[in-house]
Structure 1
Amino acid sequence: MKIWLNRASVPVGLCVFVALLAQVPLLHNPTFYFTDDSAAQFLPMWHRLGEQLLAGNWPPLLDNDAWMGGNLAAEALFGVWNPVNLANYVLVAGLDDLALAATVVKTEFLVLLALGVYLLCREYGAARWAGAALAVALPFGGFTLYFQASTWVAGLMAFAWVPYVWWSARRTARGQLYAVWPFVFGALCVTNGNPYGVLGVCAVLLGLLLEFWLRKDKRAVYRVLLVGGCVAAVVPLVFLPLLGASTVGLRTGKELFNLGQLVPAFTDLLNLSMPSHLPSIRTFNPNAFRMTVPATYFAWFVLPLLAWLDFGVLRRRWRELTAAFVVAGGYLLLSLGPSNLWMFRWPLRHVESLFLALAVLTAVLLSAGLRTDRLRLRILATGGILLLSGYLAFAAWPKISLRHLFSLALLAGLTALVVLAARRGGRWTGRLSAAVLCGGTAIVLLLQTTWQPYNADVAGYRFPQSTDQLHEQFAKRYRGTTVQIADRGLPGPNGENRDLLFGNMYAAAGVPTLTAYTGMGFKPLHKALCLTFYGGTCRKAYPALFQPTESGRSLADLLRVETIVVQRSLFTTPEVKAPPIPGAKIEPDPLAGLPEPSYPPVVYPGWRVEESNDAVTVLRRIQPLEWSEGRLSQVGAGVRIEADKMAGQRTELVRFSRSGPVESKAELTFARLNWPGYSATVNDQPVAVRNGPAGTVVVELPAGVRSGELRLHWDPPGFKIGIGSALAGLLAALALCVVQFRSRRRTAGDGRFGGFR
């Protein structure tokens, strides 16, 4: 028991320390973890997903009230098959403050990441103090903190599992761990739905294959291959819906080009220890030529301690460190570009995986102890490295020279303390070194979040944080399906917080809306109302709602719209069209023939002005819609609806009867988007489902059927294949465990689990 507690003390202390450090950014910016995509996309939808789970809707694959953003299976990044994610969504639904919820969940994954890095470093023989130092540093690297933790949280949630996959797969290959563990960690990584996580799993498994092949350990190679196959079986469950929906999605091209956006230069990666360095990387702002955050920063001690490390360790152990070299080399190349490589955009996203491999190598080097011979030469070398780092930071932005000078002085002082601990620490060398290394990381974190309290390279949403406030402010005013005719980039006297919301914030407010955030998109609806990915529209979307469609009804009727919110400044500000991208295909404007709308908006028959102020005009439908329990919006002539009810988000049941002749077909239109995967039956006989106006679902009642029940159901493309494949992967992993267990019994006493024989 005492030995176990002694072993657990370092990882437990590490987790507590990282959790405390995760609160440091909040000292200068209380909404640090609630910005950009975290505010517009993730947190509000997490809240909606948590509510669905609490209501018994599992798995939450479809949210009709989010429209273009409602195909949760195809959006993938919400990780609806990941049990850890789902537990967190329930937690978020129970918290009123979205910024607080973001802090809790992101702190959890920063801690998970730190513990995974520690276990991985220990697996490669690093000392506990060295592994802890790198485990504390990596979660607070510039990109991980300012991009993944602050905004692109799906990347953080996937990346946090990669060290566990690496650690568990290597231990399994060596016969020290049951095969179910790398499968579990691999499945947790894959089911997050982030392709960068899948790439990370592939990279570490490839590295391990090469490592054990070079060590001529065929049995270990077979183990890695078998474990990799089990994890790969989970991939169809997550990504087949994405591929299936790509036929109607907006992001369907296989891209290979370089615009230079978020592409770091080699000198930026070289200066990974300078706290004040702001890399000269092109961001989303076309007028910016440098970043506002230290995105390529890794750890303060990596470069300053280079002259004191014994690199002979890497030469002597190169075979068993092959995986780390492979991962580092591969991600170094990916980090340098191109900007768009298939579904992998913005090479800066690869930097943290590069740093993970460097963390393993650095921990191994530190564990061998610092060399303190040739003291004068090493001091001169360290001075040269620091001066070069300082110059690169100065060259990137001379205006903040005082910060660069302070950073140089800090690095020099901390490095001297580490060297002093190595020379004079004796039996306390490891603990003293860990104290300086981890303490230095904390000081640098405090400095950086003081100098750069928020990431100005991404969208700075200022949404309300309280879900109770959102319900009070919006749900009581905007009832039923709501269309917002607005543009986030336009000024307004009340901003976004009183009358307008963008992204998925209406999901947190409990308002069904066509203008939700989407990473996938839906082309027919996008073209019909010129919708943007964050929920904005053009001004002609207003008259487009009321134009008769080929079915004779307006889109407002077919989509069951009950509330329309019209932004004043969208109509009173001169329209500025972005210049076309050179070489890009110019699509015809589907709304070109519509009249130019005016403000105040024309009030069409059946509608009235509910309220109007200096920011918006809100219009409401006068008469209530029929079939309030379902999403049916139009029926063919002679069809009488007796009942229309939804059985969850994916299924709808309609009881009908027909009067008069029934020799011809009749159509029912539903206020649903016709995502690939819909099927319908009438009295248990399959019937056709097709696209209606704006991509709505249209079902044909067959000729000759006078009455019966229509069942409309949606499953994501590859739904059954994905579930079967994932279950097969799990069963295979369990079978491997049985083989290991039996092998262990045959080889009892040698301290190993044995292999797959």
Structure 2
Amino acid sequence: MVTQEVASVAPAEESASPSRRILGLHLRGGLLWYLLSVAAVLLMALARIVREPRFFFWDDTQLGAFGQWYGLGTRILAGDLTILAPGAWQGGNYLAEGQWGIWNPVVWVIAVFTHVFDGATATVTVVKLLFLVLLCTGAYLLAREYGAAPWWAAVAGFTATAGGQTIFMDAPSWVTGLQNVALFALTWWALKRHVDRGRSPVPFFALSYVLIAFGYVFGAIELAVLLIVVLVEKIIRRSRAEIVRVLVLGAFAGFATVFVYLPGLLTSPVTVRSGSAILNDQFLNMDVGDLLTSPIATGTSSVRGYWGDLVPVPLQYVTWLLPVFILIATGWRRSLRELAIPLAVLVITTAFVIGPSVLGPLRYPARMMPYVVLCVAVVFAVVATNGWNSRPSRRRVLIAVGATIAAGWLSWAAQPSSWLWVCIGVLVQSAAIVVVGYAGARGGRDVGMRAAAWTLVASLLVLVPQIYRYPSSPLGNFNVPSSVTAMHDVGSDMDDGIFTVGDVYSLQQHPDAYDESLLANLWYLTKKDAASVYTVLPFTTYAAELCVDIRGKTCPEALDALFEDREHPLADDMALNTVVVIKGDGLEDRPKAPEGWTVTDSEYVWVLHRDEPVDRAGGVARASEGTSVTVLDRDDTSVRFTVDEVAASGGQVIFSRLAWPGYTVDGAELGDPARDFLLTVDVTAEDVGKVVTVTFRPPGWGIELTSVILAGLLAVAWTIVFGVVRRRGQRAGGDRQPETM
């Protein structure tokens, strides 16, 4: 199949002379070209780090991912892999949040790794470099699997890592996006080698589970698209054995998806993600005009986002190689049959990117651009393998340069103020096309390999103006500390139950303010319960009561909301012991200490401390008049108590927990949530003397457990059955196709 086609266009390896060996590795060998691709990726990353040392420690990585990893690592090292943290309030439903990766062994390793070094910037940079290398590896292997020569697969590996969405959004900030596309590339490779070449299904089971368990829905969507496309292709070809393989792999992925995503889906009715509207507010999606500028590494477009209507970086950048397809057009005919699946995935993914910006709970379709880049990289490598067997004509080179100039003109038209850097980009890329087309392909039997080597070098060089002009992500740098110890020490004088009031984002204006307060998931570094952590699933009524956003910013009125109910202060119901008030608009005056509290002054904040700290959130906050209970024991997911007294008309027991879907009560009944968000249990006079147990399990827990068990059983059973059948086939003389590296 693939290997036979590659052999017809790639030079024979045994013809090389000894001078063409480096460290004992053949220049045409896959390993050397793979290492060159990885080296190019690391060189690109190093250049960005030199330009901006915090390039990979930016925005949501500062406020979300690092603290999340550290908090999970703290729990793992303590032997506690909980699914719920009542004291984190709307940020504490970890399975519904999804992206915590509670069931993901790769995330576990990362989480523990964050406890090894004190420098958050260095730790995060190492993690992200590893995933860039994994993305490069996946693209390289996938290109080889589709028939690309090692040298062109090396180009694909580098190209897959250099797209605008990956470089300016996912790698610096939205790390789950980077993790997803890297695992998707590897999963696709594992799927193809099993379905088409009858190799072991174990890599697919392992890689697809890790991909899905990251909890980032775009990777799961792409995997579903891939499986459907492959299934359709096999049905068209009427390949029964391959159809069965796809169905088995698809069933495994489906069961794993139910296990990971069903909790969030069933929890969404109480969150702000409960909408089902389909609309286009043009926020982080692209149009055809944006895609026409995608060959220009220094070009910007009109993508709307947090920055406004004009994106200040080349977010739409795919690759400078798009016009180079003109030089290898003769390879299309030999490649189309083999590339049917990558091209179909490319078309469908592009349709998502330019489609509505909101599809129910799904937002920001620009996040699917890395998959577009991956498909383009693989397609280019295969077409180049089959089409670059001679020096391109001068006419083709001129047309490719002309296409680059046209894309540059469109980039200038999108943002005329960027004309200088667009011109520089066009000049550099045009020169690169000429060099690759002429100097890199002077003829001879090694023409393709030489052209690929020049292309890999040129792919680095065309990024030099981009790296210089656009040194960082357009998302925010919150100037948070890098020292884990320093952030941990912020909570040293605070008791569990921390809540911040005010504009937490104002801390970034004075970096030394982080000595007095933190924000978002950085509170996890204190190892204290904090209500002001990051969430992607705000609890609707809770967020409205405290006017709190996803990262812990509140309106000034939140301070009054905590204490205005003198009989039952919300601060008591939430088991708060520390309230950090950030000085700013609406919070200019020193707050008065409520009864039982003390206020301390600092330069940037006031801190309210409870004089007699209460137990951590999660227990019984109070009971209605005439009702009393005794708590027997409690943990993050359950509370057990005895009913001592109940008024004749009945009573209520209110907990310092959010009323997430999934709670059950044995011995009493769930009631309507107090304040519309506090877990409440109704008791009657007949319940006096009873032991009542309140337990949290994710909604749909039985279905979820059944799904993961079925996934595991299916993986084991199929691996055994397939292995037995394969060995029988080998004994009968079948399955002798060589592996591709």
State how 1:255-266 maps to structure 2 within 5 Å.
Answer: 255-266=277-288
Aligned to 1:336, which of 354, 362, 367?
Answer: 354
CA separation of 1:471 and 1:739: change in aligned 2, threshold 3 A: closer
Q: Which amino acid aligns with 2:492?
A: K
Q: Aligned to 2:411, what secondary structure does the other structure show?
A: helix
* Kept in 2: contact 1:67–1:672 (CA 8 A): yes
CA distance in 2, matches of 1:168, 1:179: 7
Equivalent residues, number? 712
Using the TM superposition, give the Cα deviation of residue 446 of structure 1 relative to its aligned residue in structure 2, in angstroms.
3.8
1:47 Cα offset (Å): 0.6
Relative distance call for 1:645 and 1:98 in structure 2 (3 A) is farther
Residues 1:602 and 2:592 are matched in the alignment: yes
Query: Which of 311, 326, 349 in structure 2 is aligned with 1:307?
Result: 326
1:421-500 matches, within 5 Å, as 423-424=441-442, 426-456=444-474, 458-472=475-489, 474-488=490-504, 494=510, 497-500=514-517
For residue 2 of structure 1, report the CA deviation from its aligned partner: 8.7
Partner of 1:590: none
Asked if 1 retains the 8 angstrom alpha-carbon contact of 2:671 and 2:680, the reply is yes
Residue number in structure 2 paired with 1:584: none
Unaligned runs of 5+ in 2: 1-23
Q: Superposition RMSD on alpha carbons, in Å?
A: 2.8
Q: Distance in 2 between matches of 1:276 and 1:270?
A: 13
Counterpart of 1:543, as a letter, is: D
Q: Offset of 1:189 from its aligned partner?
A: 1.4
Are the equivalent residues in 1 in contact too, given 2:56–2:128 (CA < 8 A)? yes
Of residues 413, 416, 419 in structure 1, which corresponds to 2:437?
419
Per-residue CA shift, 1:525-570, capped at 9, x if unaligned? 1122111112111122111112338xx4111111111112222313
Match of 1:227 in 2: 249
Change (3 A) 1:493 1:103: closer
Give the Cα separation in 2 of the matches to 1:373 and 1:600. Answer: 76
Task: Write the deviation string for residues 461-492 of structure 1: whole angstroms up to 9, x where unpaired.
Answer: 221121210122x2024322122111245589
Structure 1 residue 558 corresponds to structure 2 residue 573? yes
* CA shift for structure 1 position 115: 0.7
Q: Which amino acid aligns with 2:496?
A: G
1:376 counterpart = 2:391: no
1:744 is matched with which residue: 708, 726, 735?
A: 726
Q: Percent identity?
A: 27
Contact 1:480 1:562 in 2 (8 A): yes
Counterparts of 1:292-691 in structure 2, within 5 Å, are: 292-303=312-323, 305-311=324-330, 313-370=331-388, 372=390, 375-420=393-438, 423-424=441-442, 426-456=444-474, 458-472=475-489, 474-488=490-504, 494=510, 497-548=514-565, 552-571=567-586, 599-613=589-603, 615-625=604-614, 627=615, 631-635=619-623, 645-647=633-635, 649-654=636-641, 656=642, 658=644, 665-681=650-666, 685=667, 687-688=669-670, 690-691=672-673
How far off its partner does 1:428 sit? 4.3
The residue type paired with residue 363 of structure 2 is R
In structure 1, the residue matched to 2:66 is 43
Q: 1:109 to 1:423 in 2, by over 3 A?
A: closer
Query: Following the alignment from structure 1 to structure 2, what is the Cα–Cα distance between the partners of residues 2 and 514?
Result: 56
Distance 1:381 1:256 in 2: 41
Per-residue CA distance 1:178-225 (angstroms, 9 max, x = gap): 233322222221111111111110111122123323333233123212
The answer to whether the Cα contact below 8 Å between 2:100 and 2:214 also exists between their aligned partners in 1 is: yes
Question: What amino acid sits opposite 2:644 in the alignment?
Answer: R
In structure 2, give the amino acid aligned to 1:527. Answer: A
Residue 562 of structure 2 aligns to which amino acid in structure 1?
Answer: L
Counterpart Cα distance in 2 of 1:224 and 1:177: 13
723, 729, 735: which one aligns with 2:717: 735
Tell me how far 1:144 sits from its aligned partner.
0.8
Shift in Å, 1:335: 1.5
Offset, 1:629: 9.5
Aligned match of 1:30: 53
Distance verdict in 2 for CA 1:607–1:333, change over 3 Å: same
Q: Is the 8 A contact 1:18 1:114 kept in 2?
A: yes
The letter of the residue matching 2:150 is R
Distance 1:204 1:351 in 2: 15
Deviates more, 1:725-734 or 1:247-256: 725-734
Asked whether the 8 Å contact 1:506–1:513 carries over to 2, the reply is yes
TM-score (norm 1): 0.88
- CA shift digits 1:263-305 (9 cap, x unpaired): 22323212322111011222223xx3321111111222331x2
Q: 1:111: Cα distance to partner?
A: 1.1
SS at the partner of 1:608?
strand
CA contact (8 A) 2:98 2:264 kept: yes
- Give, as a single letter, the amino acid of the residue that structure 2 aligns with 1:42: A
Greater shift in the superposed pair: 238-247 or 401-410: 401-410
Q: Distance in 2 between matches of 1:366 and 1:439?
A: 16
Match of 1:194 in 2: 216
Deviates more, 1:232-241 or 1:204-213: 204-213
Paired AA for residue 619 in structure 2: R
Q: Check the 8 A contact 2:498/2:577 in 1, yes or no.
A: yes
Query: Could you tell me how far 1:645 is from its partner in structure 2?
Result: 4.2
Q: Which amino acid aligns with 1:673?
A: L
**1:587 paired residue number:** none
Q: Does the 8 Å contact 1:24/1:445 carry over to 2?
A: no
Cα 1:122–1:128, aligned 2, differ >3 Å: closer, same or farther? same
Output the amino acid matched with 2:502: A
Please tell me whether the aligned partners of residues 680 and 712 of structure 1 are also in contact (alpha carbons under 8 angstroms).
yes
1:715 deviation in Å?
Answer: 1.2
Partner Cα separation in structure 1 for residue 45 and residue 186 of structure 2: 21
Q: Distance in 1 between matches of 2:293 and 2:509?
A: 44
Cα separation, partners in 2 of 1:493 and 1:126, compared to 1, 3 Å: closer
Deviation at 1:401, TM superposition (A): 3.1
Q: What does the per-residue CA deviation read over 1:149-179, in whole Å, with 9 as the maximum and x for residues that have no partner?
A: 1111111112211122222222222242123
SS at match of 1:483: strand
- How many angstroms apart in 2 are the aligned matches of 1:599 and 1:165? 57
Partner in structure 2 of residue 594 of structure 1: none
Alignment of structure 1 residues 12-91 onto 2, 5 Å: 12-58=35-81, 60-91=82-113
| Matching residue of 1:165 | 187
Counterpart secondary structure, 1:310: helix
Please list the CA deviations of residues 394-413 of structure 1 after superposition, one character each: whole Å capped at 9, or x if unmatched.
Answer: 22333343323322232233
**Structure 1: 5+ residue stretches without partners:** 573-597
| Counterpart AA for 2:699 | P
Residue 84 of structure 1: CA displacement?
A: 0.9
Greater CA drift, 396-405 or 117-126: 396-405
CA distance in 1, matches of 2:27, 2:440: 28
Equivalent AA in structure 2 for residue 632 of structure 1:
V
1:229 and 1:462 map into 2 onto residues whose CA distance is: 45
Q: Deviations along 1:54-79, whole A, 9 cap, x unmatched?
A: 11112x32122321111110011222
Q: Distance in 1 between matches of 2:542 and 2:704?
A: 28
CA distance in 2 between partners of 1:401 and 1:369 (Å): 34
**Partner deviation per Cα, 1:351-379 (whole Å, 9 max, x = no partner):** 22122221221111111242656733223
One-letter amino acid of the counterpart of residue 658, structure 1: D
Measure the CA separation in 1 of the matches of 2:79 and 2:156: 42
Q: Contact (CA 8 Å) 2:578, 2:610: kept in 1 or not?
A: yes
